[in-house]
A and B are shown apart, each in its own frame.
Chain A
Amino acid sequence: MTDRSPSSPSITPGRLPAGQAPPTSAPAAPAPAGPGREARHQPQDTGLAADRVSWGVDGRLVLDGVALAAPGAAVTGLLGPNGSGKSTLLRAIAGVRPPDDGGVVFDGDDLLRLGRRARARTLALVEQDAGTDLPVTVHDAVLLGRIPHRSLLAGPSDADRETADRALERAGAAELADREVATLSGGERQRVHLARALAQTPRLLLLDEPTNHLDVAAQLHTMRVLRTLADDGVTVLAALHDLNLAAATCDHVVLIDRGRVVAAGPTAQVLVPEIIEPTYGVSCDVLRHPRTGRPVLTFSTAPVPGSVH
């Protein structure tokens, strides 16, 4: 593992010079930063910085030198086509599947060198579709998030139970507390996993498609929860496949494709046709939301004249 200064990777508006062929021209006129969030920039020593993260399997590089930054107290969206490596990257950052190469620094700490339990107190990962056949109640499932905070020989304390209750409330799952996890719908389970991650009281929250299975109201609720967490100082990095959800809520986005960063920066500067079209192979128009002023993307399959593939 190479050592490097924690502050080396930084958010570059537009593209990262990550060594790959840049997709045609730079976005001609970066969209004007929307009112509010995009303008906020944190000093670079807070938040998450991954540098040259690589992970391969069977001689194929799934992550090929990924560098990304997720500033502190902000919501960063991790975007990319199916199979581009979003889940793998989140697992690498979380230390679940440590990368073959590269470094991950959070708030000045080398996450990959941190002890397991210290890391589990620092960050939480909400994965996709984690289910169980065991008869475990929602409240007990959320209490699991307290395991890294107490001795392995001890049981949950009253304070742990209270933290779990608060996490359930915050994730909008309080009424599920006494249900069995195995009897929940996909959307309800997703909220329970969010609550479990919140019970871990992380400073860095990683989420893998947290709005999967959710109806539109629940999607917006989840994104609002992520926003309030960020406002409370949590660094949030969420893999999303819905570009419009990212457009509506993320402060920053990182777009990856085939294990490489294609573009990163403030949301309105990355979600532009010049970047989206070659990455996803669709034609794309960006409108303004009439009320929020944030970008709204519309897609069609028609080939775009002049776009380079």
Chain B
Amino acid sequence: MNKIEFTINGKKVATQVEGRTLLVNLIRDELKLTGTHVGCDTSQCGCCTIHLDGKSVKSCAMLAAQADGANIVTIEGMADGDKLHPVQQAFTECHGLQCGFCTPGMIMTAASILKDHPQPTEEQIVKGLEGNLCRCTGYINIIKSVHRAAELMKA
């Protein structure tokens, strides 16, 4: 067992984890933040995407022990109270989600695309979403949502 401490959605957490525990399992099973999803076992789908020290990472591709000292934000930490994050708002406005299973990961990835490229081109968005799969939307409205979020964030 490893003792770790980190911050998640602004709260400090201290816990013990098995060496092999994946970060996503710690988040979902122990911290009960089930908005972060598991869609695959080969790090391909991006459903598990979170922000770790300001960068988007796939939480299924990291051990929990590696998160020691990190500052983590999950989908549950994106809204500011009742005020949605602009990316969240854009996703509902543009119908960027259907079943919603890929959505937390998409939103986390989109937010980080916009951090790197506040006014992203179509190519930058597509490239940024490369590691996120969606089976419902055909991505058309997801890409639209990212453009819209850029607009909302500029305003």
- A, B in one complex: no
Q: What residues make up the interface of A, taking CB atoms closer than 8 Å to B?
A: none
